[in-house]
A and B are shown apart, each in its own frame.
Chain A
Amino acid sequence: MLRNIWKFLLLIWMGVVIWGAFTYTPTAKALGETTRILYFHVPCSWVATLSFLIAAISGILYLVKNDLKYDLWAENAAHLGLFFTVLATITGSIWAKVIWHPFWNWDPRETSIFILLLIYAAYFALRSAVEEDEQKARLSAVYVILAFITVPFLVFIVPRIYDSLHPDPVINAQGKIKMNGKMLQVFFASMAGFTVIFFWMLRLKVQTALLERKLQMRKFKKLTENRDV
């Protein structure tokens, strides 16, 4: 019971964040009521990027230690990353429809989230094209690391070539956070909440995958034993 108390605290925490996002915070000048999507959209894209980082680190660990456990971490982090990337894309598109009118117009931010989506999709395409477990782990680890080292280029180049309409110039000019105190409280509370939820989901997924693997091994053992008799 006590071990699980943080889960109830998290429930309350996220409840407060949702309440705060809709009632407690003021809206930004140019954006009006649409400001409120900020507290859900930005944490989604943050978590999507974080899971890419975790997949790359797990890839490196797999190549160094040669333990399939790390491949499970990489695969499941990529699963969740794909999920949150889709969420960030959808919430962003809804917001874009309201403010910019088209759902999609290749704004640099849209481009970079779309590239992340492409990388995750390519990663899973590669995994499904390799049969053997060790080889799958090795090749996909190499790919995710290679994709990860090109990210800085995308982050710095794409916005340099195309002008962005993304509202961080409105809320966040010159990289300084210019939200007022109430907005900042809810924003960071939401970021923290999403991060904790993400790690919880990741741990659950990895544990489930480990159990599934154990079960398969047991089935396999049984089969081979029966054949001996």
Chain B
Amino acid sequence: MAHRKSNFIHKSWAVFRKDIQLEFRTRYVINAILMFALTVLTAVSFSIGPLRLRVEIGAALLWIILFFSAMSGLAHIFVREEEQQTADTLRLFSRPVNIFLGKWFFNLLLLYSLEIIIVPLYFVFLNVPDPVLSIFLPVLFLGSFALASASTLIGAIISQASARGALFAVLTFPIVLPVMFSGIHGTQLSFARASFLDCLSDLQVLLSFSVVILTGSVLLFEFVWRK
């Protein structure tokens, strides 16, 4: 039993390692998604100028930047398999659930590494109040977790459709709206110097949403992937 379990993780890890190696060979996605996020950030910052933002607007802008940055790159992991015609080989070598988990983990890591760069720049460029870190960081962590989890399955869906780029955001937006609502609300609380207990319900929503969407995705992925 223990052997099978480690084998399961090992296989998902193998898919993840393959994708990481491919990514570092070209660094295509990380560059594209980072430049896209920077463009959105500077566009927002330029258009606002030196105004001091109300906390509601500052929090909403942060999540809009994160959402569109995620939409610019998170589908690529499946689109690449279709474009380079490697999907069929992957189908032969690995079980759907391992493929999904490997790619989900890649997306999660991609979004987190993006945020390590973008979020500090957000505070530099936009004139928003200092957040309470004990609220801001958990909200950001769980919100990105939910965002990456929901968009991985949709990335798999749109990789098999035409008009991929536009479709990805269109399909993801209604599904991640609960994440946006709670993420924005939690971030507002952290700017307004609320206590940790106030944002507990937002964190609960983000966590339970992630669990539900991840379970649903693991169950549904097989139907998207098989041909």
Whether the Cβ atoms of B223 and A126 lie closer than 8 Å is no
Residues of B within 8 A of A121 (CB): 170
- Give the size of the chain A interface in residues (CB under 8 angstroms): 28
What's the nearest-Cβ distance from chain A to residue B91, in Å?
15
Q: Which residues of A contact B181 (CB under 8 A)?
A: 157-158, 161
Q: Answer whether A122 and B171 are a contact pair too, CB < 8 Å, given A142-B223, A142-B224, A143-B157.
A: yes
| Docked complex Cα distance between A48 and B43 (Å) | 39
The 8 A CB mask of A117-133 against B (1 = contact, 0 = none) is 01101100110011100
Give chain A interface residues in 132-181, CB to chain B under 8 Å: 135, 138-139, 141-143, 145-147, 149-150, 153-154, 157-158, 160-161
Interface residues of chain B: helix, strand, loop or mixed (majority): helix
Smallest beta-carbon distance A210→chain B, Å: 24
Beyond A129-B162, A135-B160, is A150–B185 a contact (Cβ under 8 Å)? no
Q: Are B216 and A138 in contact (CB under 8 A)?
A: no
The reply to whether A126 and B177 contact each other, CB–CB distance below 8 Å, is no
On whether the beta carbons of B157 and A157 are closer than 8 Å, the reply is no
A145 and B220 contact, CB distance less than 8 A? yes
Q: Nearest residue in A to B227 (C-beta to C-beta)?
A: A135
**Does A115 make an interface contact (CB < 8 A)?**
yes
Q: Contact: B205 with A157, CB < 8 Å?
A: yes
Contact B160 A139 (CB under 8 A): yes
Does A63 reach chain B (CB closer than 8 Å)? yes
The answer to whether A153 and B205 have CB atoms under 8 Å apart is yes
In the complex, number of A-B residue pairs with CB atoms less than 8 Å apart: 83
Query: Which chain A residues in 58-72 approach chain B with CB under 8 Å?
Result: 63
Report chain A residues within 8 Å CB of B177. Answer: 115, 150, 154
Can you list, as one digit per residue, whether each of B87-130 has a CB less than 8 Å from chain A (1) or not (0)? 00000000000000000000000000000000000000000000
**A122 and B170 contact, Cβ closer than 8 Å, known pairs A129-B161, A139-B161:** yes
Q: Using A145-B220, A149-B213, A149-B216 as known contacts, say yes or no to A139 and B157 having CB atoms under 8 A apart.
A: yes
CA separation between A129 and B154, bound complex, in Å? 14
From A131, A139, A153, A157, B224 is in contact (CB under 8 Å) with A139
Q: Chain B residues near A129: list those with CB within 8 A.
A: 158, 161-163, 167
Main secondary structure of the interface of A (DSSP, over half): helix
A131 to chain B, nearest CB (A): 8
Check A138–B213 contact: CB distance below 8 A.
no
State the CA gap A176–B83 with chains docked (Å).
56
Q: In the complex where A119-B174, A139-B224, A145-B216 touch, is A153 in contact with B162 (Cβ < 8 A)?
A: no
A130→B171 contact, CB < 8 A:
no
Say how far A135's CB is from chain B's closest CB, in angstroms. 6
Q: Given contacts A118-B174, A125-B170, is CB(A146)–CB(B185) below 8 Å?
A: no
Query: B residues within 8 Å of A by Cβ?
Result: 153-154, 157-158, 160-163, 167, 170-171, 173-175, 177-178, 181-182, 185, 201, 205, 208-209, 212-213, 216-217, 220, 223-224
**10 A-B pairs, CB-CB below 8 angstroms?**
A118-B173, A135-B160, A143-B157, A146-B175, A146-B217, A149-B213, A150-B175, A150-B177, A158-B178, A158-B181
